[in-house]
Amino acid sequence: MTSTVGIIGAGAAGTAATKALHASGVDVELFTRTGEQPSNRTLVNKGVAIGLLEPHQAALPDGGVVPTADTVRAIDPRTREVRLDSGERRAFDALVIASGSRPRILDEEIIGRDEAVRTGRLTTLHSMADGVRVRDRLAHASPARVLILGGGLVASETASLLTDAGHDTALIARSLVPGASAIGEPAARRLLDLHQPQHAAYLGRSARSIRTHSDRVAVVLDDGTRVEGDLAIVAHGTAPTAPAPWTGPEGIPVDSHLRSLHAPDRRIYAAGGVAVHHYPGHSAYRIDHWDDSTAQGAHAAQALLHDLGMAADPRTYLPVSTFSVRIHGHTLIGAGHPALGTSTRIVSADPLLVVHQLGEVPVALTGIDATRLVHEYLPELHAQVAARR
């Protein structure tokens, strides 16, 4: 009997799962959000926001399955029935939830936040609509003064892209060493050295209030400093987004094969930015970058096929995907999930290569202009854990 699988979300994870299942002869229905064109999210800031691409140029191929643009609002885990935005209900033999994430926004306690959003002077940079909003605002004030609230990789890369495009940028980061919690202090300090000659940086500071004027926005920091610009972009990371009953901020906990822990033996899987993993000997973690989401989607599909008796066991999912961003003429490259590490070991200072370890187990790599070294060290990641799988 042919199995029918519903895949919720058509980003990196959903597309990868769709391709793998479709190639194996499984009957797949792929759901996107109502009115949404599945797109490569990495091109929001790299292409659309800076005017290099139109949104349709960032569209994802359908992977052999034409998506249904009807948001999945809720799932009954017992029956695997989904309730759609249109009111329709459908049941499947298995589900892969790959509904991704949403951008974190400023706290509602920040005075003036809502007015700044309403006027378009304050925005996130997560969706294609966000990219178009930033592009259009920059076109009306070229060169523009752009305030970027955040210090992670998206914030750093966006600051670099806008600076290269001739705009005046300023980073406002809550940490004294932006990005240290995500990529470790050695790489974050090296990035800070790249940023500081290029643009203003307000470090260890948070927004206290926002004042919107007809021609500018002003962010007042917690030390009283007032920073003005044409546009403010919030880049404070993401939070998982999923249908009910997983609509809270926690995401969907999964086991080592990406099966939902809240619906055991129900053939429900989660992958990408919505999935919450448990590394052996470590607390829960979540990864939300494109290449790893692709790997998770493929892994969830193989686990599903294994559970249906159609494929070999893919064994434990472990994060090994690489990621990279260009920042002021240099490449930050990494692999795995640095936040899993409890210590760092510098194996090369020039080019910089850092191994992140959980105890004695290498779990991630980060480097600056160290692409070759990262790929040489990749086989070391999770080696002891993989041997016990």
pLDDT tens column, 167-177: 999 999 999 99
Q: What percent of the chain has pLDDT over 70?
A: 98
The DSSP symbol for 44 reads: I
Q: Which of 73-99 are b and which e, b meaning 16 or more Cβ less than 10 Å from the residue's Cβ?
A: eebeeeebebbbeeeeebebbbbbbbb
Counting DSSP H helices and E strands in the chain, the numbers are 10, 26
In this prediction, residue 248 carries a pLDDT of 84
pLDDT tens column, 8-27: 999 999 999 999 999 999 99
Kind plus residue range of the DSSP H or E element containing 179? none
Q: What percent of the chain has pLDDT over 90?
A: 92
pLDDT tens column, 258-316: 999 999 999 999 999 999 999 987 889 999 999 999 999 999 999 999 999 999 999 99
Q: How is residue 380 written in tokens?
A: 């070391």
Q: How is residue 239 written in tokens?
A: 């939070």
Domains for the chain: give ranges and CATH numbers. 4-102+239-307 (3.50.50.60), 128-236 (3.50.50.60), 322-387 (3.30.390.30)
pLDDT tens column, 330-350: 999 999 999 999 999 999 999
In this prediction, residue 2 carries a pLDDT of 65
Q: How is residue 96 written in tokens?
A: 């892969």
Q: 3-class DSSP state for residue 281?
A: coil
In this prediction, residue 387 carries a pLDDT of 56
Q: 3-class DSSP state for residue 378?
A: helix
Give the C-alpha separation, 95 to 338, whole Å.
Answer: 30
- Please give the distance of CA 284 from its chain centroid, rounded to a whole number: 17
Give the C-alpha separation, 351 to 314, whole Å.
Answer: 35
Confidence check: pLDDT of 186 > 90 = yes
In this prediction, residue 363 carries a pLDDT of 96
CA 195 vs CA 158, 198, 235: distances in Å: 12, 5, 16
Spatial contact of 32 and 15, defined as CB atoms under 8 Å apart: no
Confidence check: pLDDT of 122 > 90 = yes
Confidence check: pLDDT of 1 > 60 = no
